[in-house]
């Protein structure tokens, strides 16, 4: 991710972000770019941190959770375990929803809610 020193605009373009997002992340303690006068300058370490923030957000972590992982020694495992439990729950719920959708797609009745197979699937889903 070689950069040397990039402006906020250059970094925003590189990651497909608005500059105000990077400024917000700085204001909430996720980033601390160097300053050249009143200008922010981002180095390779900042770019890797931005990549980690983006991946964490894609995984569903909140900015508060990401900040906690970055700022509190030993918090990473706690935050990630808590998030893993939540993500596992959400995946299970999504799989249940997908099974209901598949059942409805397989129903030949005009009103799939009247289908006995669909009703059985709903009852199994809880």
- In the chain, where are the structural domains located? 1-61, 72-126
pTM for this model (two decimals): 0.72
Q: Which fold has domain 1-61?
A: Multidrug-efflux Transporter Regulator; Chain: A; Domain 2 (1.10.1660)
The rounded average pLDDT for each run of 10 residues, N- to C-terminus, in the chain (126 residues) is 82 97 96 92 96 93 91 85 91 92 87 85 82
Integer Cα distance of 25 and 37 in angstroms: 20
Integer Cα distance of 126 and 121 in angstroms: 9
Q: Which residue from 30, 109, 16 is spatially nearest to 65, judged by alpha carbons?
A: 30
State the pLDDT at residue 98.
Answer: 93
Segment 57-88, tens digit of pLDDT: 998 899 999 999 888 878 888 888 988 999 89
State the pLDDT at residue 120.
Answer: 84
């Amino acid at each position: 991710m070689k950069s040397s020193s990039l402006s906020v605009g250059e970094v925003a373009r590189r990651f497909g972000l608005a500059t105000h997002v990077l400024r917000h992340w700085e204001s909430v303690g996720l980033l601390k770019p160097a300053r050249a006068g009143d200008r922010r300058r981002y180095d390779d370490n900042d770019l890797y941190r931005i990549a980690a923030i983006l991946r964490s957000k894609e995984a569903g972590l909140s900015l508060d959770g990401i900040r906690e992982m970055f700022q509190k020694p030993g918090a990473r495992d706690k935050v990630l375990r808590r998030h893993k439990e939540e993500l596992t729950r959400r995946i299970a719920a999504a799989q249940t929803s997908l099974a209901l959708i598949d059942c409805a797609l397989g129903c030949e009745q005009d009103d799939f809610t009247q289908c006995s197979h669909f009703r059985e699937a709903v009852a199994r889903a809880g």
